[in-house]
């Protein structure tokens, strides 16, 4: 516990600092900042208690962690970092949702030779581009998929609308959960999911 003399010395130093800042920034700004920090006085114990409660809740055997990521490299790296931190803490990842995945558009065989600059050639080029995007995405998520194995992996396709309401959430849920409420797990072409 700090001594009274220590508190007085800190108070004097603080007052001198605040006077100097007041001259530069203005007394009103300094007073607003002091009022802001005084509003937090006494709240530290409440923050500590809530943090302990959350820590206990997250450590319960009934708590599960499901990672959600997109197939972008930075998002996958962040999800991988989080999975590593969970593993270091002795907590398992119980599932992975890869959101906004481009569909694979698997072909039924070789494409016919289309005349150059024809509508069919444009469509074939678009199909190849989409297949390449999907292949890049699958390569990007392959590491995190193998890292969370044997946990279920669900891929939610890139939707044609933005999800911002209950109908959109229902659409996402339809891609994640089957009619029996279990995750819809699709086999990965590499057999990873």
Domain carrying residue 75: 64-176
150 preceded by cis ω (within 30°)? yes
Domain containing residue 146: CATH number: 3.40.50.300
Is residue 82 one of the residues assigned to a domain?
yes
d(CA 151, CA 172): 19
Is residue 54 one of the residues assigned to a domain?
no
Is residue 141 one of the residues assigned to a domain?
yes
Over 60: is that where the pLDDT of 193 sits? Answer: no
pLDDT in tens, 7-49: 454 566 667 776 777 777 777 776 777 777 777 677 777 888 8
Q: Is residue 104 a contact partner of residue 110, using CB atoms and an 8 Å limit?
A: no
Q: Average of pLDDT values for 108-122? A: 82
Query: Is there a single domain that holds both residue 73 and residue 27?
Result: no
**What is the structure's pLDDT at 156?**
92
Query: Is there a single domain that holds both residue 96 and residue 9?
Result: no
Indicate the helix (H) or strand (E) that contains 157.
strand 153-157
pLDDT in tens, 155-168: 999 998 889 999 98
Number of domains within the chain: 2
- Considering only residues 89 and 180, tell me which one the structure prediction assigns the higher pLDDT: 89
Query: Is there a single domain that holds both residue 34 and residue 129?
Result: no
**What is the structure's pLDDT at 189?**
39
Residues 6+ apart with CB under 8 A from 73: 140
Is residue 45 one of the residues assigned to a domain?
no
Q: Is residue 100 a contact partner of residue 154, using CB atoms and an 8 Å limit?
A: no
- Considering only residues 10 and 119, tell me which one the structure prediction assigns the higher pLDDT: 119
- 100 vs 97, 104, 117, 164, 190, CA distance in Å? 10, 12, 31, 14, 19
Over 60: is that where the pLDDT of 2 sits? Answer: no
Instruction: Specify the pTM.
Output: 0.66
Query: Is there a single domain that holds both residue 83 and residue 123?
Result: yes
d(CA 122, CA 67): 38
Q: Which of 143, 131, 120 is nearest to 73 (CA)?
A: 143
Query: Is there a single domain that holds both residue 92 and residue 27?
Result: no
Query: Is there a single domain that holds both residue 10 and residue 77?
Result: no
Query: Is there a single domain that holds both residue 96 and residue 154?
Result: yes
Query: Is there a single domain that holds both residue 73 and residue 163?
Result: yes
The tokens for 16 are 């001198």
Is residue 124 one of the residues assigned to a domain?
yes
């Amino acid at each position: 516990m700090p001594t009274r003399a220590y508190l007085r010395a800190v108070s004097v130093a603080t007052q001198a600092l605040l006077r100097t800042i007041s001259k530069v920034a203005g007394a009103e700004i300094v007073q607003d900042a002091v009022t802001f920090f005084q509003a937090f006085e006494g709240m530290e114990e409440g923050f500590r208690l809530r943090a302990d409660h959350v820590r206990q809740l997250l450590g319960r055997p009934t708590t599960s962690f499901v990672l959600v990521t997109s197939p972008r490299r930075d998002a996958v790296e962040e999800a991988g970092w989080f999975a590593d931190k969970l593993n270091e803490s002795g907590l398992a990842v119980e599932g992975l949702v890869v959101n906004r995945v481009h569909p694979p558009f698997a072909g039924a065989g070789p494409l016919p030779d289309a005349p150059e600059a024809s509508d069919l050639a444009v469509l074939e080029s678009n199909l190849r581009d989409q297949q390449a995007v999907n292949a890049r995405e699958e390569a990007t998520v392959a590491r995190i998929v193998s890292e969370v194995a044997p946990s279920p992996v669900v891929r939610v396709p890139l939707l044609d609308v933005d999800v911002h309401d209950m109908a959109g959430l229902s659409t996402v849920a339809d891609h994640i959960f089957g009619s029996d409420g279990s995750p819809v797990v699709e086999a990965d072409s590499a057999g990873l999911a």
